[in-house]
Amino acid sequence: MPQYNPPIRDTRFVLDHVVGLQSRANLPGFENATADMVDAVLEEGGRFVAEVLFPLNQVGDQQGCTRHPDGSVTTPEGFKAAYDQLREAGWMTLGAPEQFGGQGMPHTVSTAFEEYMISANMAFAMYPGLTHGAIAALLAKGSDEQKALYVPRMVSGEWGGTMNLTEPHCGTDLGLIKTKAEPQGDGSYAITGTKIFISSGEHDLTDNIIHLVLAKTPGAPDSSKGISLFVVPKFLVNEDGSLGERNALSCGSIEHKMGIHGNSTCVMNYDGATGWLVGEEMKGLAAMFIMMNAARLGVGLQGLGVAEVAYQNAVQYAHDRRQGRALTGAKEPGEKADTLFVHPDVRRMLMEAKALTEGLRALCLWGAMQVDLSHKAQDEAERQLADDLIGLLTPVIKGYGTDKGYDIATAAQQVYGGHGYIAEWGMEQYVRDARIAQIYEGTNGVQAMDLVGRKLAQNGGRAVQAFFKLVGDEIAAAKGEEAVADFVGRLERALNELQAATMWFLQNGMKNPEHVGAGAHSYMHLMGIVATGLMWLRMARAASGLLAAGEGDAKFLNAKLVTARFYAERILPDAGALRRKIEGGAESIMALDPELFMAA
Amino acid sequence: MPQYNPPIRDTRFVLDHVVGLQSRANLPGFENATADMVDAVLEEGGRFVAEVLFPLNQVGDQQGCTRHPDGSVTTPEGFKAAYDQLREAGWMTLGAPEQFGGQGMPHTVSTAFEEYMISANMAFAMYPGLTHGAIAALLAKGSDEQKALYVPRMVSGEWGGTMNLTEPHCGTDLGLIKTKAEPQGDGSYAITGTKIFISSGEHDLTDNIIHLVLAKTPGAPDSSKGISLFVVPKFLVNEDGSLGERNALSCGSIEHKMGIHGNSTCVMNYDGATGWLVGEEMKGLAAMFIMMNAARLGVGLQGLGVAEVAYQNAVQYAHDRRQGRALTGAKEPGEKADTLFVHPDVRRMLMEAKALTEGLRALCLWGAMQVDLSHKAQDEAERQLADDLIGLLTPVIKGYGTDKGYDIATAAQQVYGGHGYIAEWGMEQYVRDARIAQIYEGTNGVQAMDLVGRKLAQNGGRAVQAFFKLVGDEIAAAKGEEAVADFVGRLERALNELQAATMWFLQNGMKNPEHVGAGAHSYMHLMGIVATGLMWLRMARAASGLLAAGEGDAKFLNAKLVTARFYAERILPDAGALRRKIEGGAESIMALDPELFMAA
């Protein structure tokens, strides 16, 4: 019953006018991303996910994954066939390097496709998504031998990949992990321990699964400084790339979760499994952060992707369902009732979803471009700037993006009234699926602490200053433009609130770091509002410029201006409240003994 | 694995110091509510729900209800036995009138017990909850004969009750209902139609189920003005009260829902079922609103009840789970990590839950007292004031209370990290259960429109003026008190924002009613913040007074002052942002053609 249409026009508008993809044709890999090529990716990729993956979304939720007595896991009906099609059509290889069999397209372009895949079927999209994270870690830290052995077949999708971090007693605090890696004298290690919450840990989609596993070597410090990263394949791989014997690892059980039922979330048991060190011993945390940073941006994209499909369905329902009359008198007197669209409060929810999904799409694609630039820009200063900006905003895209993704999915469900609570309509699944994105890859509280505790202060605050300059410069440049004058004034006020909050942290964090921790979550949202506001400034300026030039679809461009206005009037005002909350500090938060929470 | 402890000390504090229960002993029925009696209700009632109902909460979610081929429905394992115990112990009769076999206790006291029952098992609590709503409608609008025939056995819990409003094509817009009532010439009617989303529609807990059904009589206007209310028992009742033949109604199916699986949500088919008019023909909507208003307060209480149990478990988890170190250095260096309690962002979530659950508890019990006073206060002016206040605040308690209930349940789940997403921990069930309260008995958007579209303007704004005076007077009275000076200043600013928003509606609503509709939801939250702020003012003043007098538990009272400060610093600031959103008006919300939402 639900539906999904890839928002191709909007993606294209963002790539052209916010991200400036075409102006980057001089960068390596970007020469392939011609306008025609990008159009083909968006249109054919969009059609593929809508036709092949989306119809499996509800069935995946209803069936979930099944673990058999031998420890094997089957995915929901149709997943395997769809995965084969995905692989054969080459959609998994878009952004991977050409030397390993990929198409070498900009990350910006593969991110656009990935959003569509998530919207169509988030649980399914996690299988290739985890593989991409594992590839990124192997490319960055693996030996040439490891890259040659594993990466080509992961790029092609013949093999899957996973990240094994969490254990029953620790997730955030990885220094506590107990999994052991004993050297076997032949260069390999015997890995022993239990990992939980392993997404795509065991399944029937690929011939092999390449697990990346955090473990401690003998004598290593019993803290995060003692962690090493290992590659531990489900089947050992012979030198010629053929599969060897089954490794001593298995799926002990599948978790019963709130959502993403189509993805197998496994307890993985390593019983002296054979693994090899990736990168240097006791440098596992750094290697892991390569996976994590890519994964966090991917999770931010999940917030957007699920919000988008939920929003689209709410729009359709508001258009179809007739209930009540417009406050200004019947809009369609010939019908027994008007559509939900006439009701301002329904529109409020839809406009909020529209303003945030379009804003987050721009932010995610802009962020993907910073990833590209951080690797490929031609001068060092530009690479560093891009790296600073995406480092700063990764926790914002993850934390703010997924908090808003959940809010939007919830509001979209609300548009359906009672029907939204009924499984067959599909809306409640979006809420359940969206919920995990706030939790995994570091909870949003952890993102907030990463932002204020690490990213703000790094390199003497270079990144946040660069961000302030970026927003401030674009505000200054827009000041003469009448069409965006009101927007610019409001965005400037929001930026001022963000700068004031940053200053408050500087002044009070030295006295007591808990003042910073207590405001971290509000600060993450405040920066999310300003960053998304910058995207809306760009979109509004582009729209008014195109309109003035008589170019483009006037209705679409006018809608951009209206939505920017909504963003300014209805979302930017939260900036002031967030600043005031931050300035509340830590005292009332930290004052009470735990026991005073426990017996009301 | 989850746990629940009734918050008896807090309930007692609210009854004594916010609601002033003991000072009302001169009102009819209140003479029974002595301090000892209330203590006994809270303690024994609390123990009962914790020991009997709470253990069935997770099993109820997992098993759900089962419809058998003959249309009968069985509730989850243990529900029937627990219901019998509830009935035998007399917990269902607390607030019912003595002449019908009830205990005639104040509504304020039965509301306190009901919160506990909801926390323990929301899906279960809906069975007696719906019966209470049906009793209220019969008492208000039924004939003496109908009251005598049905009410005593509903009060005792031998029979259940339901509300049948929604149909597949209409929920909010009841004017569209198609169910027909044909007079049979003997005073009865033949009821034919399909009702959906009927909570407790069919089950195995009671010998009979008394359905209250909205339907249209022949020739009645095809609008909300043509609706009549009928009593349609599952088994016809003989004059002596014994059960007669099975009526022509049945459960066609059970809905598959996001949550409250333990409650049977039924499609009910009426196939010429025999029913009798309740009250006057075509006055069904008014009769229904008696049920609805009681039910809306009950749903607000669901927001609180689920939030409370979710919060309690998050507190326990934060106390037990060790992860990371305090920002100010290890709190327990002998352990491998500190507890979650040391982290400011975890505390932020717990303090927010604490401030809101305690605030909403006070607001719900204060509201219940207004219900009591509206019936029982000795002078007419006091009855009218109470009726005005609870009429105004019913949509706020429902809408704001359940929006916050969902937010709190979500935050409590967040405290658990990945474990919160796993079913066995029980936290994700609270989120799924809490979600329905924002949707049913009128979505929260409908509540917001009831507030701004009806309640604000009624009787020339008498109710809202009374509310402003109430808050303003208590602010003025507190102004000399140093312990609450900061709080009072901040609450006064929030009240000013609310008054300014009200004025903005007055000035702009005449020009365009959509300006009011567009701000309705923000206004409902703004009023919720101020109303809950008034409760915190009362709690803070009471706490500081008791501390000064050397009375009470100093730790508990100091915690009240700290939590009030948190409320002022972290929740009241939203008032300003909400006002600014309201002042954004309807233009950007109503400007776009529906088609511009549909193809991004």
The answer for B 380-409 residues in CB contact with A (under 8 A) is 406
Q: Which residues pair with B253 in a beta bridge?
A: B267
Catalytic residue among B115, B167, B358, B441: B441
- Least CB-CB distance to A596: which of B175, B349, B559? B559
- Tell if the CB–CB gap between B344 and A581 is shorter than 8 Å: no
Question: Residues of A numbered 64-93 whose beta carbons fall under 8 angstroms of chain B's beta carbons: which are they?
Answer: none
Contact by Cβ (8 Å): B582, A570: no
Q: Which of B176, B569, B582 to mutate to test the interface with A (most CBs of A within 10 A)?
A: B569
CB contact under 8 A, A576 and B574: no
Using alpha carbons, select from B417, B423, B405 the residue that is nearest to residue B317.
B417
- For CA atoms A323, A325, A331, A337, the dihedral sign is positive
Residue A598: its chain B contacts at CB < 8 A?
315-316, 319
Cβ-defined contact of B555 to A596 (cutoff 8 Å):
yes
Collect the ranges in chain A with pLDDT lower than 50: none
Flag whether residue A303 sits within 8 Å of chain B, measured between CB atoms. no
Bridge-partner residues for A574, per DSSP?
none
> What CA–CA distance (Å, rounded) separates B174 from B227?
8
Cβ proximity of A235 and A243 under 8 Å: yes
Sequence-distant (6+) residues with CB within 8 A of B457 are none
Say what the pLDDT of residue B600 is. 56
Nearest to B49 by CA among B101, B147, B119: B119
List the single residue in A255, A574, A577 with the smallest CB-CB distance to B422: A255
Any CB–CB contact under 8 A between A594 and chain B? yes
Nearest CA in chain B to A558: B592
Question: What is residue B570's DSSP assignment?
Answer: I
Name the minimum distance, in Å, from the CA of B577 to any CA of chain A. 5
Q: Which of B324, B339, B559 is opposite residue A172, by nearest beta carbon?
A: B324
Q: Is A239 a catalytic residue?
A: no
Q: Which residues contact A203 (CB under 8 A, 6 or more apart)?
A: A65, A73, A74, A75, A127, A160, A209, A264
| Contact between chains at A439 and B418 (C-beta distance less than 8 A) | yes
B466, burial (CB in 10 Å: exposed 0-12, middle 13-18, buried 19+)? middle
Cβ distance of A432 and B520 shorter than 8 Å: no
For an interface test with A, the pick among B348, B447, B581 (most A C-beta atoms closer than 10 Å) comes out as B348
The Cα–Cα gap between A33 and A275 comes to 38
Predicted pLDDT of residue B599: 64
Per the CB < 8 Å rule, is B594 touching A518? no
Of B418, B590, B596, Cβ closest to residue A166: B418
| Cβ contact, residue pair B414, A562, below 8 Å | no
The pLDDT score that the predictor gives to residue A290 is 80
Residue listed under structure tokens 């352990």: B335
Residue A233 near residue A247 (C-beta atoms within 8 A)? yes
How far is residue B571's CA from residue B574's CA, in Å, rounded to a whole number? 6
- Inter-chain touch A423–B256, beta carbons under 8 Å: yes
Average pLDDT score over chain A: 96
A440 vs B432: CB contact, 8 Å cut-off? no
Tens of pLDDT along chain B (600 residues) come to 799 999 999 999 999 999 999 999 999 889 989 999 999 999 999 999 999 999 999 999 999 999 999 999 999 999 999 999 999 999 999 999 999 999 999 999 999 999 999 999 999 999 999 999 999 999 999 999 999 999 999 999 999 999 999 999 998 899 999 999 999 999 999 999 999 999 999 999 999 999 999 999 999 999 999 999 999 999 999 999 999 999 999 999 999 999 999 999 999 999 999 999 999 999 998 888 888 888 999 999 999 999 999 999 999 999 999 999 999 999 999 999 999 999 999 999 999 999 999 999 999 999 999 999 999 999 999 999 999 999 999 999 999 999 999 999 999 999 999 999 999 999 999 999 999 999 999 999 999 999 999 999 999 999 999 999 999 999 999 999 999 999 999 999 999 999 999 999 999 999 999 999 999 999 999 999 999 999 999 999 999 999 999 999 999 999 999 999 999 999 999 999 999 999 999 999 999 999 999 865
pLDDT in tens, A32-84: 899 999 999 999 999 999 999 999 999 999 999 999 999 999 999 999 999 99
Question: Among the options A352, A441, A492, A497, which is catalytic?
Answer: A441
Residues 474-533 of A with CB under 8 A from B: 512-514, 516-518, 520-521
CA distance B102 to B117: 18
| Closest residue on chain A to B328 (Cα) | A513
Q: Which residue does chain A place closest to B344, by CA atoms?
A: A518
Nearest chain A Cα distance for residue B110, angstroms: 19
Three-state secondary structure readout of A390-407 = HHHHHHHHHHHHHHHHHH
Q: Are strands B159-164 and B208-216 parallel, antiparallel or unpaired?
A: parallel
User: Which one, of B416, B411, B315, B308, lies nearest residue B364 by Cα?
Assistant: B308
Considering CB atoms only, which of A315, A449, A563 is closest to B598? A315
Q: Is A224 on the interface with B (CB under 8 A)?
A: no
Q: Which residues of B touch A524 (CB under 8 A)?
A: none
**CB pair distance less than 8 Å for A514 and B341:** no
> Is there a contact between B514 and A576 if contact means CB atoms under 8 Å apart?
no
In the three-class reduction of DSSP (H, G, I as helix; E, B as strand; rest coil), residue A65 is classed as: coil
Beta partners for A254?
A: A266
Q: What are phi and psi of B518, to 5 degrees?
A: -70, -25
- Determine contact: B592 vs chain A, CB below 8 A: yes
The answer to whether the CB of B90 falls within 8 A of the CB of B166 is: no
Say if the Cβ atoms of A421 and B414 lie within 8 Å.
no
Q: How far is CA B518 from CA A258, A351, B445, B587, in A?
A: 33, 11, 10, 9
What residue in A sits closest to B342 (Cα-Cα)? A590
Assign A410 to helix, strand or coil: helix
Coil, helix or strand at residue B248:
coil
**Cβ contacts of A428 on chain B, cutoff 8 Å:** 257-258, 432, 435
The size of the A-B interface in CB pairs under 8 A is 288
pLDDT at B153: 98
C-alpha to C-alpha distance for A595 and A598, rounded to whole angstroms: 5
Yes or no, beta carbons of A597 and B327 under 8 Å apart: no
A175, A222, A420 ranked by CB distance to B439: nearest: A420
Nearest-angstrom CA–CA distance, B90 and B102: 9
List Cβ neighbours of B120 (8 Å cut-off, separation of 6 or more): B4, B49, B50, B53, B54, B57, B309
CA dist., res. B198 & res. B210, Å (int) = 12
Separation CA B490–CA B494 (nearest Å)? 6
Q: Are A598 and B316 in contact (CB under 8 A)?
A: yes
N-term to C-term CA, chain B:
46
In chain A, residues 442-471 whose CB comes closer than 8 Å to chain B: 443-445, 448-449, 453
From CA A13, how far away is CA A543, in angstroms rounded? 9
Q: How far apart are CA B413 and CA B509, in angstroms?
A: 40
Residue in chain B nearest A260 by alpha carbon: B421
At residue B426, φ and ψ (nearest 5 deg) are 90, -10
**Full DSSP string of B101-154:** T-----HHHHHHHHHHHHHH-HHHHHHHHHHHHHHHHHHHHS-HHHHHHHHHHH
Interchain contact, A435 vs B428, CB within 8 Å: yes
Contact A565 B581 (CB under 8 A): no
For residue B539, which residues of chain A lie inside 8 Å, CB to CB? none
Residue A29: what pLDDT?
A: 86
The answer to whether residue B287 neighbours chain A at the CB level (below 8 Å) is no
The answer to whether the CB of A342 falls within 8 A of the CB of A321 is no
